[in-house]
Amino acid sequence: MRLIRVKDYEELSAVAARIIAAQVTLKPDCVLGLATGSSPEGTYKQLIAAYERGELDFSQVRTVNLDEYVGLEPTHDQSYAYFMRDRLFDHINIDLKNTNIPDGMNPDPAAECARYDALIHSLGGIDLQLLGIGPNGHIGFNEPGEAFSLGTQQIELTASTREANKRFFASLDDVPTHARTTGTREIMQARRVLLVASGANKAQAVKGLLSGPVTPHMPCSILQYHPDCIVVADEAALSAV
């Protein structure tokens, strides 16, 4: 695991965007695993800026997003499908047909999860997986539990994650109770992982990520075993290490 210490969110976003830009430049048809949440938003802004300066071409890039809430239409402004268009896809020259997000509306969870795993496989796997991190150490929506997850699956969100994400909804009751997420296995199979962590509320999770025991109770800790994992973290996120 390689740790890049940065001062703040702005520097974090610039560093992470440069790593993604290098990937796109070196392999124009690469498969990017993408994340949502506030952590990667600044990175996406930097990528848009690089595209607008004429430095990046996304026309051949393929993407697979980590996760989606169950029960939110892609047009819902808190769906991750909406987030990706709003924060990145609508601002670069990516072909929307090359972008993929789990379908949170498919009434058959097992079929949807199997479809998504087959899709990742058919793309040849993920070249670079961008990750945020939950305050409880979740990656994607792989919540703390008794075992690391294998394959895309529908999960029940923990109370703490719903509480953490309620800031985006009108009330806690509006936060979906379930989500579909690629598994820890799929994240670990990405050829490179890039995790960005910012802010003091991530400090305990970052401690578990960097130096805690590898345990499914701290899902991010498995990344200690990844052969090419880069962590970009700011001073606040590193305050417990």
Query: Which residues lie near ligand GLP (CB under 6 A)?
Result: 35-39, 66-67, 132-134, 140-141, 161, 165
Query: 104: Cβ–Cβ under 8 A, 6 or more apart, which residues?
Result: 68, 69, 70, 71, 72, 79, 81, 176, 179, 180
In this structure, the number of other CB atoms found within 10 A of the CB of residue 22 comes to 11
Give one word for 112, left, alpha or beta, with left for phi > 0 and alpha for psi -120 to 50.
alpha
143 in catalytic set: yes
Q: In Å, how far from its chain's centre is CA 5?
A: 20
Q: Which of 138, 142, 165, 226 is catalytic?
A: 138
Per the annotation, the verdict on 138 as an active-site residue is yes
The CB-of-102 to ligand GLP minimum distance in angstroms stands at 11
Catalytic position from the list 65, 98, 100, 136: 136
Angle at 42 between CA 133 and CA 214, to 5 degrees: 15
d(CA 65, CA 6): 26
Q: Which two tokens stand for residue 238?
A: 């590193």
Q: Give the residue with the Cβ less far from ligand GLP, 93 or 177.
A: 177
Closest residue to ligand GLP in the complex (CB) = 132
Environment class of residue 219 by beta-carbon count within 10 Å: exposed (0-12), middle (13-18) or buried (19+)? buried
What is the number of helices (H) and of strands (E) in the chain?
7, 10
Q: Quickly list DSSP for 61-86.
A: -EEEESEEETT--TTSTTSHHHHHHH
In angstroms, the CA 81 to CA 119 distance is: 17
Active-site residue flag, 121? no
Find the shortest distance in angstroms from Cβ 161 to ligand GLP.
6
Among residues 27 and 76, whose Cβ is nearest to ligand GLP? 76
The residue among 34 and 50 lying less far from ligand GLP, judged by its C-beta, is 34
- Rounded alpha-carbon distances, angstroms, from residue 100 to 5, 172, 237: 31, 28, 30
In angstroms, what is the minimal distance from the CB of 196 to ligand GLP? 8
Least distance from ligand GLP to the Cβ atom of residue 184, Å: 13
Closest approach of ligand GLP to the CB of residue 6, in Å = 16
Nearer to ligand GLP, 48 or 57 (CB): 48
Please say which residue, 140 or 144, places its beta carbon nearer to ligand GLP: 140
Write out the catalytic residue numbers.
67, 136, 138, 143
